[in-house]
Amino acid sequence: MAASRHFPRTPFVLFVWVRFCVWRRQIRQLFESPAKLSLIVGVWLSLLVGVFALAYYGFQFVYDTAGLGPFLLSRLWFLFLFVIMILMATSHLASAFSTIVRTPETRWWITLPVSARTICRAKGFESTLYSAWAVVILLLPTCLAYVVVLKKPLWLVGWIIGVLLVPMLGIVTAFSTMVLLAWLRWARPLMIRREVAFVGLWIVSCLLFWLLGERQVERQQDVWFIALQELLPRMQVAMSMGWPSSWAATGIDAGMNGRWLEGSLYASLLWTTALLSWRILDHGAARWLFRVLRDVARPVDAASWASRPSSSPRLVPVWWMRRALFSSIAKDVLFVLRDPMQWSQGLLFFGLLGAYFGNLHRFGYAVAEPSWRIGIAALNCACTLLVFGSLAVRFIFPQMSLEGRALWLLRISPGGLSRQMVSKICLYGFLAVGIVDGLLLVSTGRLSIPSPIRLWLLGAGLISSLAIVGLSVGLGCLWIDPTAQDAARVVSSSNGAMALILMLAYVSCVVVGFVGFWLCWMHHSPTGLFGISLSLVGVSMFTGWVPMRLGLKRMERLE
Amino acid sequence: MIKAAGLTKRFGALVALEDFSIEIAKGEIVALVGPNGAGKTTALHLLVGLLTPTAGEVYLGDFHVMRQALEAKRILGFLPDQPFLYEHLTVEETLQFVGGIYQLDPEIWSLQAQRLAILFGLADKMNRRVNQLSYGMKSRLVLIATLLHQPQILILDEPFFGLDPQTLHLMKQHLRECVAQGMTVFLSTHQLSVVEDLAHRIAFLSQGRLVGLGTLKEMTQRHGSACLEDLFFQLTGSSSG
User: Dihedral (C-alpha) A301, A307, A310, A315: value to the nearest 10 degrees?
Assistant: 50
The arithmetic mean of pLDDT across residues A237-254, rounded, is 87
* Closest chain A residue to B70, measured at CA: A113
Q: How many residues does chain B have?
A: 241
CA–CA distance, B42 with B49 (Å, rounded to integer): 10
Mean pLDDT score of chain A = 80
Q: Report CB contact under 8 Å: B88, A4.
A: no
Residue B207 falls in which region: left (phi positive, over 0), alpha (psi -120 to 50) or beta: left
In eight-state DSSP terms, residue A366 is: G
For the segment A67-74, the average pLDDT, to the nearest whole number, is: 79
Which whole number is the average pLDDT over A158-177? 92
- Check CB contact under 8 Å for B11 and A299: yes
Q: B 99-138 residues with CB below 8 A of A?
A: 99-103, 106-107, 109-111, 113-114, 117, 126, 129, 131
Helix A166-186 crosses helix A116-149 at what angle (to 10 degrees)? 140
Q: Choose among A22, A110, A291: nearest Cβ to B89.
A: A22
Q: How far apart are the C-alpha atoms of A139 and A252, rounded to whole Å? A: 13
Report yes or no: A342 and A336 within 8 Å, Cβ to Cβ: yes
pLDDT of the residue at A379: 85
SS3 A447: coil
Task: Tell me, rounded to whole angstroms, the distance of Cα A559 from its chain centroid.
Answer: 33
CA atoms of A376 and A447, how far apart (whole Å): 8
Sheet containing B76-79: order of strands: B76-79, B153-157, B184-188, B29-33, B201-206, B209-214
Q: What is the pLDDT of residue A39?
A: 77
Mind listing the pLDDT tens digit for each residue in A110-159?
Answer: 888 888 888 888 888 888 888 888 888 888 999 999 999 988 899 999 99
Tens of pLDDT, residue by residue over A304-356, are 434 444 444 555 666 666 666 777 777 777 777 777 667 777 777 888 888 88
Q: Please report the DSSP string for A77-144 in residue order.
A: HHHHHHHHHHHHHHHHHHHHIIIIII-HHHHHHTTSS--HHHHHHHHHHHHHHHHHHHHHHHHHHHHH
A2/B11 Cβ within 8 A: no
CA distances (Å), origin A539, targets A36, A429, A467, B196: 22, 18, 9, 68
Q: How much is the pLDDT for A228?
A: 57
pLDDT of A284? 81
pLDDT at residue A484, rounded to an integer: 73
Average pLDDT on A21-33 reads: 82
Cα–Cα distance list, A135 to A85, A91, A379, A505 (Å): 10, 11, 22, 16
**CB contact (8 A) between residue A25 and residue B88:** yes
Residue A534, CB-side half-sphere exposure with 13 Å CA sphere: 6
Cβ–Cβ under 8 Å, residues B27 and B183: yes
Interface list for chain A against chain B, based on CB atoms closer than 8 Å: 1-9, 11, 14, 17-18, 21-22, 25-26, 104-105, 107-108, 110-115, 290-291, 294-295, 297, 299-300, 302-304, 306-307, 483
Q: Which residues contact A149 (CB under 8 A, 6 or more apart)?
A: A56, A59, A60, A63, A73
Which strands sit side by side in the sheet containing B55-60, from one edge to the other? B14-24, B2-11, B55-60, B63-64
Q: So what's the pLDDT on residue A354?
A: 84
pLDDT of amino acid A4: 45
- Whether residues B100 and A7 touch (CB distance < 8 A) is answered with yes
Q: Which of A108, A289, A310, A490 to mutate to test the interface with B (most CBs of B within 10 A)?
A: A108
**A7, A103, A105, A298: which to substitute to probe chain B, counting the most B Cβ within 10 Å?**
A7
Q: Do A7 and B42 touch (CB under 8 A)?
A: no
- Find the range with the poorest average confidence among A195-209, A308-322, B8-22, B25-39: A308-322
| Shortest CA gap B13–chain A (Å) | 7
Residues belonging to chain A: 559
Contact between A402 and A350 under an 8 Å Cβ cutoff? The reply is no
Q: Which residues in chain B are closer than 8 Å to A1, comparing Cβ atoms?
A: 92, 110, 113-114, 117, 126
Is a pLDDT exceeding 70 seen at residue B228?
Answer: yes
CA distance B120 to B139: 10
Contact predicate B28/B179, CB 8 Å: yes
Residue B188 φ/ψ, nearest 5 degrees: -110, 140
> What's the pLDDT score for residue A308?
45
Considering chain A, what percentage of its residues have pLDDT values greater than 90?
Answer: 18
Please tell me the distance from the alpha carbon of residue A517 to that of residue A532, in angstroms, as a whole number. Answer: 7
Q: Which residue, among B72, B81, B112, B107, has the nearest Cα to B95 in the 3D structure?
A: B112
Instruction: Collect all residues of chain A within an 8 Å Cβ-Cβ radius of residue B154.
Output: none
pLDDT at B64 over 60: yes
* pTM exceeds 0.80: no
3-class secondary structure per residue, A167-202: HHHHHHHHHHHHHHHHHHHHCHHHHHHHHHHHHHHH
* Interface contact flag, B97 A18, Cβ < 8 Å: yes
Distance CA B150, CA B157 (A): 18
- Facing residue for A304 by CB, picked from B12, B76, B92: B12
How many residue pairs bridge chain A and chain B with CB atoms within 8 Å of each other? 106
Distance in angstroms (rounded) separating the CA atoms of residues B159 and A532: 63
Cross-chain residue pair A111–B113, CB shorter than 8 Å: no
Confidence category of residue A56, pLDDT binned at 50, 70, 90? very high
Cα angle A157, A162, A164; round to 5: 90
Q: What percent of chain A has pLDDT over 70?
A: 79
DSSP symbols for A229-298: HHHHHHTTTTT-TTSHHHHHHHHHHHHHTT-HHHHHHHHHHHHHHHHHHHHHIIIIIHHHHHHHHHHT-H
Q: Is residue B196 scored above 70 in pLDDT?
A: yes
- Comparing C-alpha atoms, which of A208, A266, A209 is closest to residue A78? A266
**pLDDT digits 0-9 by tens, B131-159:** 888 888 888 899 999 999 899 999 999 88
Which of A9, A104, A114 shows the shortest C-beta gap to B84?
A: A104
| Residue type present at position B228 | L
CA distances from residue A392 to A102, A386, A469, B220 in whole angstroms, order as listed = 20, 10, 7, 60
DSSP SS3 for B169: helix
Compute the distance between CA of residue A8 and CA of residue B97 in angstroms, rounded to an integer. 8
Say if residue A90's pLDDT is above 70: yes
Do A7 and B96 make contact, defined as CB atoms within 8 angstroms? yes
The residue with greater pLDDT, A360 or A542, is A542
Distance separating alpha carbons of residues B111 and A378, to the nearest angstrom: 68
Of A49-53, A370-374, B3-7, B119-123, where does mean pLDDT reach its minimum?
A370-374
